[in-house]
């Protein structure tokens, strides 16, 4: 007795393999003037759609398994890449290179207007501490009233510098902030899983 593979997995393999086959065929037609199997992507699509249709009507139909195996055979040379694309052939983990821990990527977004209740800064201040651990250096980007602020410390312009610490980032502006300024701060964070 073999391993049971859900019909939807075969359908997903077919969708990806159909694209991969069409891509290979078009490249061969362009650069080689022809392909050994110019109708393969069409055939994969035809069989895949038939399986989707039958699976939608009666998912317990015994012919689905044989037809799915036929689709798998048609996908042949593309199955390995389809599994990778579906994340069925690899673990898909992200490793933090500095710690070796498994992490996921978060993209926190902080938005506030100077003078609003609860804003993390008040008019005249030049420093802001954001308590996010694992912020990637350099990833902080700041916009002021919809315009990106340049990185630097020139007091003649409104610029900023960032100090990246293990548990927070400290942003220092070259000039004090002013009431009604709208700040949007984007950053990338590695979060341990």
In tens, the pLDDT along 16-60 reads 999 998 888 888 888 888 888 888 989 999 999 999 999 888 888
**DSSP character for 39?**
T
| Domain final residue, candidates 92, 121, 139 | 92
Are both 112 and 162 inside the same structural domain? yes
Segment of 2-16, 101-115, 155-169 carrying the highest mean pLDDT = 155-169
Which SS3 state, helix, strand or coil, does residue 97 take? Answer: coil
Is residue 105 within 8 Å of residue 190, measured between CB atoms? Answer: yes
Q: Which of 170, 146, 171, 145 minimizes the C-alpha distance to 159?
A: 171
| Domain final residue, candidates 92, 121, 143 | 92
Distance CA 186, CA 179 (A): 21
pLDDT in the model for residue 92 = 54
Are both 82 and 112 inside the same structural domain? no
Distance CA 133, CA 154 (A): 28
Is residue 182 within 8 Å of residue 146, measured between CB atoms? Answer: yes
Are both 46 and 119 inside the same structural domain? no
Distance CA 129, CA 122 (A): 13
Instruction: Report the predicted TM-score, pTM, of the whole model to 2 decimal places.
Output: 0.51
Is residue 80 within 8 Å of residue 89, measured between CB atoms? Answer: yes
Q: Give me the CATH number covering residue 125.
A: 2.60.40.740
| 10, burial (CB in 10 Å: exposed 0-12, middle 13-18, buried 19+) | buried
Helix pair 7-32, 63-75: axis angle to 10 deg? 30
pLDDT in tens, 118-151: 999 999 999 999 999 888 888 899 999 888 888 8
Q: How many domains does the chain have?
A: 2
Are both 137 and 88 inside the same structural domain? no
* Domain presence at residue 17: yes
pLDDT in the model for residue 179 = 94
Distance CA 92, CA 83 (A): 12
Domain span holding position 141: 102-192
Are both 70 and 18 inside the same structural domain? yes
Between CA 69 and CA 78, with CA 75 as vertex, the angle to 5 degrees is 135
| Domain final residue, candidates 62, 92, 122 | 92
* Domain presence at residue 73: yes
Half-sphere exposure (Cβ direction) of 143: Cα atoms closer than 13 Å: 9
Are both 117 and 78 inside the same structural domain? no
* Domain presence at residue 2: no
* Domain presence at residue 158: yes
* Domain presence at residue 35: yes
Distance CA 11, CA 19 (A): 13
Q: Name the CA radius of gyration of the chain, rounded.
A: 27
């Amino acid at each position: 007795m073999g391993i049971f593979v859900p019909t939807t997995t075969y359908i997903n393999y077919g969708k990806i393999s159909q694209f991969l086959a069409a891509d290979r065929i078009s490249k061969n037609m362009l650069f080689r003037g022809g392909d050994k199997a110019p109708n393969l992507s069409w055939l994969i699509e035809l069989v895949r759609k038939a399986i989707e249709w039958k699976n939608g009507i009666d998912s317990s139909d015994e012919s689905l398994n044989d037809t799915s195996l036929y689709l798998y055979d048609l996908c042949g040379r593309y199955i390995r890449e389809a599994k990778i694309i579906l994340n069925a052939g690899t673990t898909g983990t992200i490793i933090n290179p500095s710690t070796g821990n498994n992490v996921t990527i978060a993209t926190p977004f902080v938005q506030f207007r100077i003078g609003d209740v609860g804003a993390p800064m008040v008019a005249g201040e030049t420093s802001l501490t954001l308590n996010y651990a694992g912020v990637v250096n350099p990833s902080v980007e700041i916009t002021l009233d919809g315009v990106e602020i340049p990185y630097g410390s020139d007091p003649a312009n409104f610029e900023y510098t960032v100090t990246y610490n293990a548990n927070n980032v400290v942003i220092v502006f070259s000039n004090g902030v002013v009431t009604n300024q709208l700040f949007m701060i984007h950053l990338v964070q590695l979060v341990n899983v």
